[in-house]
Amino acid sequence: MKPPPFIHHAPRDLGAALRTLAEVRGKVLAGGQSLIPMLNMRLAAPEHLVDINRVAGLDTVETTPAGVRVGALVRHSEAERAGLHPLLTRALKLVAHPVIRNRGTVVGSLVHADPAAELPAVLAVLGGHVRVARRDGNGGMAVRDVPAGEFFVGPMESDVRPDELAVSAFFPALGEGAGVAFEEVARRHGDYALAGVCAVVSPGEVVTAKVACIGVGPVPVVVELDAGETDWRAVAARVRDATEPEDDIHASAAYRRHLVGVLAERALRNAAREGAAARGA
Ligand SMILES: Cc1cc2nc3c(=O)[nH]c(=O)nc-3n(C[C@H](O)[C@H](O)[C@H](O)COP(=O)(O)OP(=O)(O)OC[C@H]3O[C@@H](n4cnc5c(N)ncnc54)[C@H](O)[C@@H]3O)c2cc1C
């Protein structure tokens, strides 16, 4: 199918992009790997598309000891190849197929906020944020950093207003020797997962751990473990109980709930093993 008619805007700098968004309140086009299929299937019919692919300065990556900031035009494949962050790299390998990863953007995935997408869970478990910009009343730029816990509002809904552009996402660095894992089950390789769990386990005097689950609620379900809690099977049961899966044509809610428990235990064990190996235990 063909998309409904739209007016294409192709700003060349951030100021022009924000001005256009303030004026027309159109849909932002980044990699187009979710938006274009939605247009073709007539699930969306925006009058204006604000194509950010020519906007200078949005394809940058900034790595500091605190973490990595990924610009809005950094593609999945670039982020994956660059090995920017151990958990991000792990998750990116599970996102769709290489052809889609060549165009799709990290920030676009976050804004799109599919409940089964991997990257929202990564941002949520790490406690990162998305930087969002808009034109202010004086023709300048107003910026806000939205923490992951507030950014994902509902299924396919994130906290980006119609006159705003998500300019970057920040993924905090892992603590010394922390182990990570991302476990998921999809019907076919490259499909969205039926359910998935990412885990960060930090060793030390007292082990700390956190998981985020996908495909089992409207937004990533984050569970922070009590300090020193290492009975992964018991924790997995608690994670399972924290989720709110629904039946759909792909799987029943009961199956998804069972699956997320199994995956949580596996992810925690694997992350703990990786952390232990990193500190030579
Ligand atoms: C067959 C197929 C399988 C897929 N499988 C998976 C999968 O397993 N896991 C997964 O996570 N994803 C999957 N995807 C989606 C893919 O990862 C997309 O690339 C991603 O969801 C969106 O990134 P994009 O840059 O293409 O965004 P676009 O398609 O350009 O935009 C998506 C939405 O986000 C908005 N948006 C994008 N960037 C910005 C911005 N900077 N500021 C404000 N709004 C913005 C757009 O307006 C639009 O509403 C799949 C896609 C396909 C076609």
- Per domain, the residue ranges of the chain are 1-50+60-173, 179-278
Least confident of 147-151, 209-213, 251-255, 275-279: 275-279
pLDDT at 277 over 90: no
Q: Ligand 1 centroid vs 97 CA: distance in angstroms?
A: 13
pLDDT at 164 over 70: yes
Q: Whose CA is nearest to atom 8 of ligand 1?
A: 192
Judged by DSSP in three states, 140 sits in: coil
Q: Whose CA is nearest to atom 23 of ligand 1?
A: 108
**CA–CA separation, 246 and 244 (whole Å):** 7
Q: How confident is the model at residue 23, as a pLDDT?
A: 96
Q: Ligand 1 centroid vs 232 CA: distance in angstroms?
A: 33
In this structure, the residues whose C-beta lies within 6 A of any atom of ligand 1 are: 27-35, 37, 72, 95-96, 100, 104-105, 107-109, 111-112, 114, 117-119, 160, 165-166, 192
pLDDT at 19 over 70: yes
Model confidence at 204, pLDDT cuts 50, 70, 90, reads confident
pLDDT at 119 over 90: yes
pLDDT tens digit string along 47-77? 999 999 999 999 999 999 999 999 999 999 9
Average pLDDT over the chain, rounded to whole?
95
The domain made up of 1-50+60-173 is a member of CATH 3.30.465.10: yes
Q: How confident is the model at residue 137, as a pLDDT?
A: 86
pLDDT at 280 over 80: no
Query: Does 173 or 228 have the greater pLDDT score?
Result: 173
Q: Ligand 1 centroid vs 206 CA: distance in angstroms?
A: 38
- DSSP secondary structure letters along 201-238: EE-SSS-EEEEEEESSSSS-EEEEPPTT---HHHHHHH
pLDDT at 189 over 90: no
Query: Does 226 or 52 have the greater pLDDT score?
Result: 52
User: In the predicted model, what is the mean pLDDT of residues 175-201?
Assistant: 95
User: In the predicted model, what is the mean pLDDT of residues 224-253?
Assistant: 93
Q: Whose CA is nearest to atom 34 of ligand 1?
A: 112
Q: Whose CA is nearest to atom 47 of ligand 1?
A: 28
Q: How confident is the model at residue 281, as a pLDDT?
A: 59
Does residue 213 contact residue 239 with C-beta atoms inside 8 Å? Answer: yes
Token look-up 């809690």 returns 229
**CA–CA separation, 274 and 270 (whole Å):** 6
Fold of 179-278: Enolase-like; domain 1 (3.30.390)
Q: Do domains 1-50+60-173 and 179-278 have the same CATH topology?
A: no
- Give the sheet arrangement for strand 208-214, strand by strand: 179-185, 195-202, 208-214, 221-224
Q: How confident is the model at residue 205, as a pLDDT?
A: 82
Q: How confident is the model at residue 25, as a pLDDT?
A: 86
Does residue 134 contact residue 141 with C-beta atoms inside 8 Å? Answer: yes
Q: Could you tell which of 9, 25, 28 is best to mutate to test the pocket of ligand 1, judged by most ligand atoms within 8 Å of the CB? A: 28
